[in-house]
């Protein structure tokens, strides 16, 4: 059994597919050879899995939210946090798991039509594209708060505070929430945490100003992938200030900055750091 081939990176919402595995239960678990459904990552669960429907001859069921899975060499399915091996482990097949409402019995090799809820996907795509833009704008606004040169740079060659400090990230419909921690190691790297946390209100204004400038450009957002398999690397591309920005990303996105409309953040202090809430108003 091969890894699931995934087409959501191409913007697809519907596919005809063959059943590779179906585990019946109160919630049945379906695996197909090909899917347009984006699954929530078990490694960095920022974007929720897609929802939608599956149709077959004589029946249908609601799907989702989809999750990652792995099938062992002896054919046992492990889902989400239960996956016991690293991706690409020899003999294991990494798959997209479609949870189906109710007891469903689908024979291996039978044909199904998978349909993603396009409206729900679009709302999450707005949130995820806004999230990337906000991270880049935050990194720029925090440049004056570094006392030392930083080797970790983002896609705009700015000190990558986002990557170094982020603890959790959750993409939501038309928004996202990130939590950042400024611990001992980050202060050693040169972050002036005292000034940064004291000036969150001014930083918020700067981030929002930068976001407005970038969104006004209306630049195209593109997606690319290293291969069709669900474990192959995927990337987010956008032109900002005349240069191509590329960020590794497994999620879904809108087609341009113009689609985002208005992107605004709110910063709030929390224990050992701060939170960043992004809201997109298309």
Q: pTM for the complete prediction?
A: 0.97
CB 260 within 8 A of CB 125: no
Find, among 171, 133, 126, 170, the residue nearest to 155 by Cα: 133
DSSP state, 256?
Answer: B
CB 189 within 8 A of CB 150: yes
DSSP state, 220?
Answer: B
Q: Which pLDDT tens digit goes with each residue over 132-144?
A: 999 999 999 999 9
Per-residue pLDDT at 1: 73
CA triple 258-165-141, angle to 5 deg: 50
Interatomic CA distance for residues 258 and 189, integer angstroms: 36
Both structure tokens of 230: 């669900």
Interatomic CA distance for residues 9 and 100, integer angstroms: 23
CA 178 remoteness from chain centre: 13
Interatomic CA distance for residues 167 and 44, integer angstroms: 10
CB 54 within 8 A of CB 30: yes
Tens of pLDDT, residue by residue, the chain (282 residues):
789 999 999 999 999 999 999 999 999 999 999 999 999 999 999 999 999 999 999 999 999 899 999 999 999 999 999 999 999 899 999 999 999 999 999 999 999 999 999 999 999 999 999 999 999 999 999 999 999 999 999 999 999 999 999 999 999 999 999 999 999 999 999 999 999 999 999 999 999 999 999 999 999 999 999 999 999 999 999 999 999 999 999 999 999 999 999 999 999 999 999 999 999 999
CA 47 remoteness from chain centre: 4
Q: Which pLDDT tens digit goes with each residue over 214-244?
A: 999 999 999 999 999 999 999 999 999 999 9
Interatomic CA distance for residues 263 and 282, integer angstroms: 8
């Amino acid at each position: 059994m091969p890894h699931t081939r995934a087409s959501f990176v191409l913007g697809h919402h519907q596919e005809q597919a063959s059943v590779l595995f179906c585990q019946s239960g109160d919630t049945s678990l379906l695996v197909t050879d090909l899917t347009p459904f984006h699954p929530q990552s078990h490694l960095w669960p920022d974007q929720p899995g897609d929802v939608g429907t599956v149709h077959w001859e004589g029946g249908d069921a609601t799907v989702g939210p989809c999750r990652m899975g792995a099938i062992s060499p002896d054919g046992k399915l492990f889902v989400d946090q239960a996956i016991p091996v690293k991706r690409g482990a020899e003999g294991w097949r990494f798959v997209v798991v479609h949870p189906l409402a109710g007891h469903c019995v689908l024979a291996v090799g039978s044909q199904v039509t998978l349909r993603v809820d396009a409206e729900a996907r679009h709302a999450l795509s707005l949130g995820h594209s806004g999230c990337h833009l906000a991270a880049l704008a935050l990194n720029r606004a925090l440049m004056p708060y570094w006392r030392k040169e930083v080797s970790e740079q983002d896609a705009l060659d700015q000190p990558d505070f986002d990557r170094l400090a982020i603890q959790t990230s959750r993409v939501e419909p038309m928004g996202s929430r990130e939590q950042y921690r400024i611990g001992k190691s980050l202060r050693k790297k040169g972050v002036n945490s005292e000034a940064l946390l004291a000036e969150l209100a001014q930083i918020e204004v700067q981030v929002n100003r930068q976001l407005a400038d970038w969104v006004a450009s209306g630049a195209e957002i593109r997606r690319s992938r290293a291969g069709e398999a669900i474990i192959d690397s995927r990337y987010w591309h956008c032109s900002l200030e005349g240069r191509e920005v590329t960020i590794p990303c497994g999620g879904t996105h809108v087609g341009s900055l113009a689609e985002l409309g208005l992107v605004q953040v709110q910063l709030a202090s929390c224990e050992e750091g701060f939170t960043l809430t992004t809201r997109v108003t298309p």
